[in-house]
Amino acid sequence: MTRILVVDDDPDMLELVKNVLRTQSYLVDCCLSPAQIDQRKLASYDLILLDIMMPDLDGISYCKQIRSMVDCPILFLTAKSLESDIVEGLVSGGDDYITKPFGMNELLARVQAHLRREKRERHSSLHLGNIRFDLSANEIYVKDIKMSFTKSEYQISELLAKRKGHVFSREQIYEMVFGFDGIGSPSAVSEHIKNIRAKFQQFGESPIATVWGIGYKWE
């Protein structure tokens, strides 16, 4: 079930948005200010609608506070329409900007578009801490910085990451990545692992552990 958080200091706006979203069977939590939000539930939301002009803590400041805690889309609701305001909202970590007054059909369309995109991205990406795999492009990022891997290094990394905690022997890795008729030998896997580790360590990451006498695993 899709969970959405709506934060707006206008009770009438809050009620209106809640009722519209519930027509789509979304589970909606409403708060009049960031102070009312249960921080323990933040990671459970699929999308957050956040008013900017609030008396105690404005939406942009709150977005900056929570952006590292949530990876769902954050959409701003606001009467501010200057380009500089829009840029500030997006730079703070927001994903979209809906200017008041807005039609409820527009709101629903924006919400649904972001939820669809988020669903697609989750199917095509793998997040493990600061490390993100773009599975469709065969690329790895650490804190949004693209890393440089050979095809073999990427394939080994993806294999281990997708089965986090599972221990693979060199022979298993070799057969699953290069196939039974691969050119070379399983000993080449150790050299690939060495290179992969060196590249991750440049970013302060050490995700691959050696299980002595058995093989390797993604921790």
Identify the pLDDT of residue 118: 76
Structure confidence by residue, pLDDT tens digits, 78-96: 876 666 777 777 878 888 8
Structure confidence by residue, pLDDT tens digits, 189-206: 898 999 999 999 999 999
Domains 3-125 and 129-218 agree in fold: no
> In terms of pTM, does the model score above 0.85?
no
Does position 130 have pLDDT exceeding 80, yes or no? yes
For the chain, give every domain's residue range: 3-125, 129-218
User: Across the beta sheet with 96-99, what order do the strands follow?
Assistant: 27-31, 3-7, 47-51, 74-78, 96-99
Mean pLDDT value across the chain: 88
Does position 113 have pLDDT exceeding 50, yes or no? yes
Identify the pLDDT of residue 122: 64
Task: Judge: domain 3-125, CATH 3.40.50.2300.
Answer: yes
Structure confidence by residue, pLDDT tens digits, 14-35: 999 999 999 999 999 999 999 9
Identify the pLDDT of residue 183: 47
Backbone dihedral angles phi then psi of residue 216, each to the nearest 5 degrees: -135, 155
Percent of the chain with pLDDT over 90: 49
Provide the token pair at 187: 């000993």
Binning pLDDT at 50, 70 and 90, where does residue 177 land?
Answer: confident
Pick the CATH number of 129-218 from 1.10.3720.10, 1.10.10.10, 3.40.50.720, 3.40.50.2300: 1.10.10.10
